[in-house]
Structure 1
Amino acid sequence: MISTEPVILKLGGSVITDKGADEGIVREADLLRIAKEVSEFRGKMIIVHGAGSFGHTHAKNYGLDRKFDPEGVIITHESVKKLASTVVGALNHFGVRAVAVHPICCTVCRNGRIESMYLDNIKLMLEKGFVPVLHGDVVMDLELGACVLSGDQIVPYLAKELGITRLGLGSAEDGVLDKDGKSVPEITPEKFENFKHYIRGSGSTDVTGGMLGKVQELLELSKTSSITSYIFNAGKEDNVYRFLNGESIGTRISPDKRV
C-alpha cells in the first residue's frame, strides 16, 4: 500500500529499550522486528522514538527537569544520540533510508514547551524519500537554559506543523488501559475526565509523564486540529505494520463529536 500522506510513528522508549535499567540497554530483538515491519511500508514517514533507559536515567540523576546543568545536558544528549544511532542503524539494515535528526540542533523551547523547530530539512527529506528519525532529547530553552523534550511533545508538534493526519504511538501496552487493565477503544476530551485517574504515569524512571503525559498531548492535538491518533502495543508482532498500513488498532484518541 502506498500512502501519499506522510505518517508519524512514535516508538516508545519502553519498547525499544529496557526502561528499568540504570544504563542504556537496547531490546535488540524488538528493535530489529520493528525495523523489518517498518521496511515493508511503502509510504512517507517520520519516526520519533523515546529515550528510554538512555536518556531518562541521566536526566534524573542531573535533575534536568529542575535545573540547568551543562554537564548533564551533554551526557544526556550523548546517551540519546547513541540510541538514535542504533535505531537508525537497524532501520537502514532493512533498507529504510533513515536519517537521525537530533532535536537539540533544530529546536528551541520556552519553559519546557516547543517555541520553534526548524522543519525545512525534514520536509526535503520526506520529499526525497528519506525517513527522518527524531527522538526525546535535551534542547535549549529560552527561560530555563535547557530542558528535557519528550518525543510525546515532538509528535503532535510535527503533525500540526506539517499537516500530518495519521499518527500512532507504539507503547508497551495494548493502548490506554482502564481500571481492569483492558484497553479503552476510544478517548475523546469529553470522555477523558471520567477515567483520567485510572491512567498511570510511568512505572520506571521517566521524567516526561508516562502514559498520562502521552494521552494529554494527543488530546490537546485533537482539540486544536481534529487529528485522530492511536496508542497501540508495538511490542506485539505485526502491530507496527498494521498501524502503518491503515488499520485502527489500540486506543483511538479522537476529537469530541461535533453536534
Structure 2
Amino acid sequence: MNSNSDITVLKVGGSAVTDKNAAAGSAKADEMERIAREIAGFSGKLVIVHGAGSYGHVYAKQYGLDKGFHEEGFLKTHDSVRELNEMIVKTLRAEGIPAVPLNPLSFSICGDGRLTFLYTDQIAEMLKHDLVPVLHGDVCMDTTRGACILSGDQSLPYVAAALNAKRVGLGSATDGVLDSNGKTIPKITPKSFDSVKQHIGGSAGTDVTGGMLGKVSEILDLAEKTGIESCIFNANTPGNVAAYLKGDTVGTLICKDE
C-alpha cells in the first residue's frame, strides 16, 4: 500500500559526510554544512538516519563486531559513532533545524545480525512537535551473537515502515546505483533486480554492512512489502538533497513492480 502520510525518511550516507578510507574518524565538515543548508529548506516532517562512515566501520572491522561481542570494540565503536552523531546534530541546529540525537543502541535489539525490534513511538511523538529525529548506524545488542552492527540501511526501512512514511531517500557518494559501465540505473524493481545485481558493487571504503548491494536489497524489500518508494542519489552533488526533499526523483528509483 502507498502511504498517505507526509513523513520523509532521509539517510545521509557515511561516505557522503566522512572519508571512509581514513584510518579513523574523519569528517567532511564542508559537506555536512552544505547538506544541512539544503535540508533547512524543507518544511515537512523529517527523520534523518546517517551512516557511520570512518567513525564506526574501522573499529567494527578491527574488533570483528560483525561476528560477535567484544567489550572494548563495542565501547569504542559506540563512542565513535555517537561523536559523529553529535557533530551532525550540531551542524543541523546551526541551520535552524530542531535536530534531536537518537542512539539506536538504547532502543533496539537484533538477532543473528538482523534488526528484530526498534522502538519508534518516541519518534512519532517528536514528529508531532516538528522535531527532527537523527538516528545513526550503531552497535546493537544481539540475542544470538551478543552484539552486532545495526546499520542505517537496516534501521532506515524499519523506521519508514513503522511510521508509514511517504518517501525514503538515500544520499550516498555515487550518482545512484551504477551499472558495470558506471552509468546510473534509473529504476530497480523486484523483477529487474536479478539482472542488475551482478553489476552492483560493495563499498569504496571500509564497510561491514554490505555496501551498495546491501542498501538496494533492504529498500527493495521495503518497496515490496509496503509500496514505499525510495531514491538513491549522490548527496555530494550540490542541490540533490534539496531537489529530493522538494519531491523530485533523483538518481535511482527503487519501487515495486506495477
TM-score, length-normalised on structure 1?
Answer: 0.97
Query: Where does residue 193 of structure 2 map in the other structure?
Result: 192
Give, as a single letter, the amino acid of the residue that structure 2 aligns with 1:49: H
Instruction: Give deviations 1:43-100, integer Å, cap 9, x for gaps.
Output: 1100000000000000000011112111111110000000000000000000000011
C-alpha distance in structure 2 between counterparts of 1:140 and 1:130, whole Å = 27
Secondary structure of 2:170's counterpart equals strand
Is the contact made by 2:186 and 2:252 (CA closer than 8 Å) also made in structure 1? yes
The 5-angstrom pairing of residues 45-124 of structure 1 reads: 45-124=46-125
Contact 2:10 / 2:170 at 8 angstroms: preserved in 1? yes
Name the structure 1 match of 2:206. 205
Residue 163 (structure 2) aligns with: 162
For 1:148, give the aligned amino acid: I
What is the CA distance between 1:165 and its match in structure 2? 2.3
Q: 1:94 to 1:27 in 2, by over 3 A?
A: same
Q: Aligned partners of 1:10, 1:115: CA distance in 2, in Å?
A: 20
SS at match of 1:91: helix
Which letter maps to 2:14? G
Q: Partners of 1:6 and 1:160 in 2: how far apart?
A: 11
Contact 2:179 2:199 in 1 (8 A): yes
- 1:90-142 CA-to-partner distances (Å, cap 9, x unmatched) read 00000000011000001011111111111111111111111000000001111
2:17 aligns with 16
How much has 1:146 moved relative to structure 2?
1.0
Amino acid at match of 1:166: R
Q: Is contact 2:5-2:164 (8 Å) kept?
A: no
Letter in structure 2 aligned against 1:153? Q
- Residue 11 of structure 1 aligns to which amino acid in structure 2? V
Q: Which amino acid aligns with 2:245?
A: L
Paired residues of 2:5 and 2:166 also in contact (CA < 8 A): no
Q: Does 1:182 align with 2:168?
A: no
- Separation in 1, partners of 2:199, 2:19: 24
- Tell me which residue corresponds to 1:138: 139
**Structure 1 match to 2:241:** 240
Separation in structure 2 between the aligned mates of residue 178 and residue 84 of structure 1, nearest angstrom: 32
Mapped partners of 1:189, 1:4: distance in 2: 24
CA distance in 2, matches of 1:35, 1:227: 25
Q: Residue 203 of structure 1: CA displacement?
A: 1.8
Off by >3 Å, runs of 4+ in structure 1:
none
Measured in 2, the distance between the counterparts of 1:228 and 1:129 equals 23
TM-score, normalised to structure 2, is 0.97
- Alpha-carbon distance in 2 for matches of 1:101, 1:126: 13
Say yes or no: does 1:25 pair with 2:18.
no
Paired letter, 1:140: M
- Distance in 2 separating the partners of 1:247 and 1:203: 27
Determine helix, strand or coil for the equivalent of 2:109: strand
- In structure 1, runs of 5+ residues without a counterpart are none
How far apart are the structure 1 equivalents of 2:229 and 2:250? 12
Q: Is contact 1:8-1:164 (8 Å) kept? A: yes
**SS at structure 2 position matched to 1:214:** helix
Query: What secondary structure sits across from 2:56 in the alignment?
Result: helix
**How many angstroms apart in 1 are the aligned matches of 2:20 and 2:12?**
13
CA-based RMSD of the aligned residues comes to: 1.0
Asked if the contact 2:5/2:165 (under 8 Å) is kept, the reply is no
Residue 4 of structure 1 deviates from its aligned partner by 6.3
Q: Distance in 1 between matches of 2:33 and 2:59?
A: 25
